[in-house]
Amino acid sequence: MTIETPDKQQSSRFQLYDTNLHSRLILGSALYPSPDSLSGAVKASGAEIVTISLRRETAGRSAAKDFWQHIQKLGVKLLPNTAGCRTAKEAITTAQMARELFGTSWVKLEVIANDDTLQPDLFGLVEATKELSEQGFQVFPYTTEDLGAAEKLLTAGAEVLMPWGAPIGTGRGLMNPYALKTMRSYFPDTALIVDAGIGAPSHAAQAMEMGYDAILLNTAVAKAGDPVAMARAFKLAVEAGHLAFQALMIEERDMASPSTPVAGTPFFDLEKLD
């Protein structure tokens, strides 16, 4: 009998569009204190995909060139995002520019509805997903746990859905685990990635234990006291959560269940032993 190692189990049947992957952790590239800390975190995490913002890349010619060269040295697959876009039209234009600049049809699609929560605009998201899919993009929509919106996004051409755990950068973890569990059950054959709001490795493990395919995060690693150590912590948490899901965890109970059967337990009359 062949026993799979955790690495083999983690990589089994994990595909995003036409790309096979081993790592189930995706990292963002913003907010790091230095390029070296970004490189160290990516290596420690084992991530094969790194998100990159077109706005960051084009912010300044010299700085952008240096940043782009640094990213290229990481040897990872890029997932450009449309961060900061407020309309479908803005997001579509940004995605087109990103494809020209980075040479990839992958795009993390963000259409933001509210400045305080950075909640996705589901109407604009569906509109942009349909247009970009027709243009040959492979869309990773940043969405909520709304099942109706999810169905429309899949109909519009998306093959991956990325519901938030909590608002971007809050670190609050999974605010609505019930809805996330429902989404996982409702779309068993769709690649689902929890994106945004993850603040601790335990949050990532919780999502993976639900059966989610991957975790996308940025702030929790980039703003940690030690980004490299935190990246490794998240790597281990994602692996542990996925392995636990595969191993079939026990169901929760309302009452205690003895680990040692009562039947056959020896009982002694202490008075007779005296």
Q: What amino acid positions are annotated as catalytic residues?
A: 108
Phi first, then psi: give them for residue 175, nearest 5 degrees: -70, -30
Going by the DSSP 8-state scheme, the letter that residue 79 receives in this structure is: E
118: phi > 0 → left, psi -120 to 50 → alpha, else beta; which? left
| Residue at token pair 């993009």 | 137
Distance between CA 174 and CA 180 in Å, rounded? 8
Residue 247 CA, chain-centre distance (Å), reads: 21
- In terms of DSSP bridges, do strands 49-53 and 106-109 run parallel, antiparallel, or are they unpaired? unpaired
Residue with tokens 């009982």: 267
* Cα atoms in the Cβ-side hemisphere of radius 13 Å centred on 229: 3
Q: Is 28 exposed, middle or buried (0-12, 13-18, 19+ CB in 10 A)?
A: buried
Q: Helix crossing, 61-73 with 35-45: angle to 10°?
A: 30
Burial of 62 (0-12, 13-18, 19+ CB in 10 A): exposed
Alpha helices in 156-212 (DSSP H): 177-186, 201-209
CB contact at 8 A, 239 and 209: no
